[in-house]
């Protein structure tokens, strides 16, 4: 019987290398989650950036909550064989995610009076998303296939009628959505009862999307939700694209990166309808927001090389990582804890053990003080360590 990094027992599996690698990735992902980091496949980021910003906001919540490495599936010999052959299908229970309106409101610091309604409408926006996938001929630049797909296969709105009862609406259509809520006919009287917003929403991801999001081993980006939660919806989309670019491409000789977007991509990024790149560039505020609130310095300019007569065809976005000094001045320095010294081989209750415990306490207390400056607290494991070390010295 094998024991994984989190002390969970697993059955013997046919593909030992794959099994071991996935356990390591899961362990590292669990550590990331303690620091509010989550993972997204680069293919998923590229494909879903065409979504509306409202939809993207809800998808962020799904990406943060979904179990990227579900260990239960690793116990299935058939699934692992299918996974190694590229034919695996994720069962519905592992691609179902339920989000709560309370968590959404808390994460994005919204007022309850408007937050529930925004959560509900954004969830519906994600369900309504229809993504386009265009394939081109290998020999000539002509379209040979246009595919449409939905990222969400099914959705269930949970409407709280009172403190103890939850009602599920299985099918949600535009006809059910009213300007001030949706309605549901009661079985007995046939009257309509109005519901203003959902307490929670359950999403079932499309099986192909789920396959791209789960069991990530390469070509993925680690995103910091502590950063994205402070950004506007369009800025969060652009930040994700910048992070993916920075993590997957080498730094240029100038010390940064550049991406180029055409007018359609620009408008999809920020849900605008500008008719020219010049109009978009003159009203583009995201570079300033990202420079102020993230670890990137961002600038933008119209691409002269793509100018046709007086019309620009592309916008260039250039960005680079801020120096440690810049981050510290802006209060965005990445706070990390010093490594705790290993326990020496000394007698329990000895002065040497007490000296070691005091060193550990000093490191954890200094780290805790830094975290408080950005309104964060020690993770549970560090809080428990602090209690143990203080007990050793009798504090």
Q: Is 252 helix (H, G, I), strand (E, B) or coil?
A: coil
Q: Are 74 and 13 in contact (CB under 8 A)?
A: yes
* Confidence band, pLDDT 50/70/90 cuts, at residue 367: confident
pLDDT at 281: 94
Same topology between domain 1-228 and domain 230-334: yes
Backbone angles phi, psi at 167, to 5 degrees: -110, 135
pLDDT at 101: 92
Question: Which segments of the chain does DSSP mark as H helices, in order?
Answer: 16-34, 42-48, 53-65, 71-74, 77-85, 101-107, 112-128, 207-213, 225-228, 233-248, 263-270, 277-282, 286-293, 324-329, 351-373, 380-392
pLDDT digits 0-9 by tens, 301-313: 999 889 898 899 9
* Confidence band, pLDDT 50/70/90 cuts, at residue 190: low
* Architecture in CATH for domain 1-228: Orthogonal Bundle (1.10)
Q: Is the pLDDT of residue 182 over 70?
A: no
Angular region, 86: left φ>0, alpha ψ -120 to 50, beta rest: left
Q: Is the pLDDT of residue 321 over 80?
A: yes
Q: Is the pLDDT of residue 175 over 50?
A: no
User: How is 320-384 classified by DSSP, letter by letter?
Assistant: EEPPHHHHHHTT-PPP-PPPPPPPPS--TTSHHHHHHHHHHHHHHHHHHHHHHHTT----HHHHH
- The CA distance from 291 to 315, in Å, is 18
Residue whose C-alpha is closest to residue 120's, from 153, 152, 157: 157
Q: What is the mean pLDDT of residues 345-368?
A: 90
Q: Is the pLDDT of residue 96 over 60?
A: yes
* Confidence band, pLDDT 50/70/90 cuts, at residue 80: confident
Q: Tally the C-alpha atoms within 13 A of residue 31's C-alpha that lie toward its C-beta.
A: 8
Q: Are 332 and 358 in contact (CB under 8 A)?
A: no
Q: Are 25 and 218 in contact (CB under 8 A)?
A: no
Q: Is the pLDDT of residue 93 over 80?
A: yes
Q: What is the mean pLDDT of residues 337-342?
A: 86
**CATH T-level assignment (fold) for domain 230-334:** Arc Repressor Mutant, subunit A (1.10.10)
pLDDT digits 0-9 by tens, 229-276: 999 999 999 999 999 999 999 888 777 899 999 999 999 988 899 999
Instruction: Locate the domains of the chain by residue range.
Output: 1-228, 230-334, 335-395
What's the whole-model pTM score?
Answer: 0.71
pLDDT digits 0-9 by tens, 114-158: 898 899 889 988 988 887 654 444 444 444 444 557 899 988 888
pLDDT at 143: 41
pLDDT at 2: 34
Counting beta carbons within 10 angstroms of the beta carbon of residue 296, is it exposed (0 to 12), middle (13 to 18) or buried (19 or more)? Answer: buried
pLDDT at 173: 47
pLDDT at 184: 60
pLDDT at 327: 45
pLDDT digits 0-9 by tens, 1-36: 233 333 333 334 446 677 788 888 988 888 888 888
pLDDT at 105: 95
Report which of residues 76 and 359 the model is more confident about: 359
**Structure tokens given for 346:** 């000394």
Cβ neighbours for 304, distance < 8 A, ≥ 6 positions apart: 312
């Amino acid at each position: 019987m094998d024991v994984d990094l989190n002390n969970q027992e697993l059955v013997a599996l046919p593909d030992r290398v794959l099994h071991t690698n996935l356990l390591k990735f899961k362990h590292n992902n669990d550590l990331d989650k303690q620091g509010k980091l989550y993972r997204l496949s680069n293919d998923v980021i590229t494909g879903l950036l065409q979504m509306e910003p409202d939809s993207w906001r809800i998808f962020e919540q799904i990406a943060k909550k979904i179990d990227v490495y579900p260990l239960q599936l690793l116990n299935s010999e058939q699934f692992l064989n299918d996974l190694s052959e590229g034919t695996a299908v994720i069962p519905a229970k592992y691609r179902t995610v339920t989000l709560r309106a309370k968590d959404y409101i808390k994460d994005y610091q919204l007022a309850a009076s408007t937050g529930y309604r925004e959560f509900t409408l954004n969830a519906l926006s994600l369900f309504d998303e229809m993504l386009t996938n265009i394939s081109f001929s290998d020999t000539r630049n002509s379209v040979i296939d246009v595919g449409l797909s939905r990222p969400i296969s099914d959705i269930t709105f949970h409407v709280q009628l009172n403190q103890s009862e939850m009602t599920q609406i299985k099918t949600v259509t535009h006809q059910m959505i009213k300007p001030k809520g949706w309605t549901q006919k009661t079985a007995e009287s046939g009257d309509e009862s109005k519901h203003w917003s959902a307490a929670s929403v359950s999403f079932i991801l499309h099986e192909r999307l789920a396959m791209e999001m789960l069991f990530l081993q390469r070509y993925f980006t680690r995103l910091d939700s502590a950063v994205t939660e402070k950004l506007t919806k369009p800025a969060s989309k652009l930040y994700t694209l910048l992070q993916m670019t920075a993590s997957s491409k080498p730094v240029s000789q100038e010390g940064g990166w550049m991406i180029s977007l055409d007018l359609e991509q620009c408008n999809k990024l920020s849900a605008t309808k500008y008719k020219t790149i010049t109009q978009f560039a003159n009203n583009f505020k995201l570079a300033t927001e990202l420079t102020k609130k993230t670890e990137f310095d961002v600038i933008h300019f119209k691409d002269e090389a793509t100018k046709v007569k007086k019309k620009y065809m592309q916008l260039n976005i250039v960005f680079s990582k801020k120096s440690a000094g810049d981050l510290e001045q802006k209060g965005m320095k990445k706070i990390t804890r010093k490594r705790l010294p290993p326990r020496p081989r000394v007698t329990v209750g000895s002065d040497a053990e007490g000296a070691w415990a005091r060193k550990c306490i000093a490191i954890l207390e200094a780290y805790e003080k830094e975290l408080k400056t950005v309104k964060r607290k020690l993770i549970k494991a560090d809080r428990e360590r602090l209690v143990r070390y203080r007990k050793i010295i009798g504090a």
